[in-house]
Amino acid sequence: MSERKLFALLNQFWDDFNTPEFYWLLAALAMILGISWWVAFRLRRNGDMHGARERNALLAFGAGSLKRIAFPLIALALVVLLRRILSDLNVGHLSLLSVASLLLLSWALVRVLVYVLRSVFPYGGFLKSFERLTTLAIWGGMVLEMTGLSDEVIDWLEQIRFSVGKQKLDLWIIVHGSVTVFATLLIALWGASLIERRLLAAQGMDANLREVLARLAKAVLSVVALLLSLSLVGIDVTALSVFSGALAVGLGFGLQKIASNYVSGFIILLDRSIRLGNLVVLDDKTTGTVTRITTRYTVLKTLTGTEVIIPNEYLVSNMVRNLSFSDSRVRVTTNVSVAYDTDIDMAMNAMMAIALEHPRVLKDPAPGVQLTQFGDSGINLELGFWIADPEAGTGNVRSEINIAILRVFRESRIAIPFPQREVRVI
């Protein structure tokens, strides 16, 4: 390709347009596109017949699936194969297949890049703009290759030279290196996302262990990809030791809190003291369910629906009441006072029956009623019962049982006394 003249491929394509071979190749190309479309359609149809879990495990590729890029890949493979066979048979006038190969290759690269980007980064405004930029870059490279301007552009970029310390650089090295680093890191992040998806689908593994392995895989693959890409570009990775020392100093001073939160996040995930779905209490004020654990913070969703973001360092260095650490069952109590002339056995049995009838109250351990105090105005009774779903709230079940106790006491004429005082005037 480096020996061709400017616009040689397009000129050859125009010259082949008037030859009989061109129309035979055009018919063959149409047949290849038809076969590729049929195979891609069958793959898509068979993929839709699989279950969701199998489809995600085998055909997942970015935001869509591998079958979405099957058509350009199959067509490209068939065109390249046909071109190779005709070249071995010394058949000329193959410019149509060369142009088709470049177009199909660009099409496949664009689709692959778009789906990999959507699998690695959250879809949003920034990603949309970046997708357009990368798509224009791929199609622009294809146009330069077809017109023969790629060598001219590379030579022009190599002439723009400058120095960074003792390192001699030119604009082509920077562009080539940036593309190499970006592609290598993107592949590493895509591989990490696949590993994370498989780990999160492993229901038999502990949730915290899955999070740790997924993050370790992403960190290791990113570092390896970065070092590998820098080596491919020609940058000496040993020069990064100076940067590593400066980074360590920065972590020791300005980034101490951030580093502490990251380390605490891995500690929480590894020792499993707090897990996803646990009901925890902080400072006897904030109660909620753990919905997300990241390397820097933990998200707690309170019973009112408010999400509280807590730094991981706080959870490691302070006392946290985990109501569902080893057992999700929680004991709830409610107190009521009855008059001194009340039949205590009847009142206690009525409270016990009310608790057993509630659907959220567990039968084992069984609820219990205790006489806790002889008060000034009446006898204080405490009803204790266990529930298995504290994340659904304890105030609602306590309120429903209190209402039922009030109704039963009124029907049974069990008096709930109110404070009374006797004043004597001497």
Q: What is the pLDDT of residues 53-87, one digit of tens each?
A: 444 443 444 334 556 677 888 888 888 888 888 77
One-letter amino acid identity for 208?
N
pLDDT in tens, 119-164: 777 666 566 676 677 777 777 777 776 666 777 777 777 777 776 6
Asked if residue 384 lies in contact with residue 370, where contact means CB atoms within 8 angstroms, the answer is yes
pTM of the model: 0.47
Q: 335: which DSSP letter? A: E
pLDDT in tens, 165-212: 566 677 777 777 777 777 788 788 777 777 777 776 666 666 666 766
- Residue (of 227, 259, 222, 263) closest to 243 by Cα position: 227
E strand intervals along 187-304: 279-282, 286-293, 297-302
One-letter amino acid identity for 390?
P
Burial degree of 416 (CB within 10 A; 0-12, 13-18, 19+): middle
Helices 256-271/207-233 angle, 10° precision: 130
Instruction: Determine the Cα angle at 407 with ends 403 and 410, to 5°.
Output: 140
Burial degree of 254 (CB within 10 A; 0-12, 13-18, 19+): exposed
Establish how many alpha carbons lie within 13 A of residue 164's alpha carbon, considering only the half-sphere containing its beta carbon. Answer: 6
Q: Which sequence spans correspond to the domains of the chain?
A: 8-159, 259-322, 330-411
The yes-or-no answer to whether 259-322 and 330-411 have a common fold is: no
Instruction: Determine the Cα angle at 22 with ends 16 and 25, to 5°.
Output: 140
Widest pairwise Cα distance in the chain: 132
Helices 95-120/8-16 angle, 10° precision: 130
Architecture of domain 330-411: 2-Layer Sandwich (3.30)
Architecture of domain 259-322: Roll (2.30)
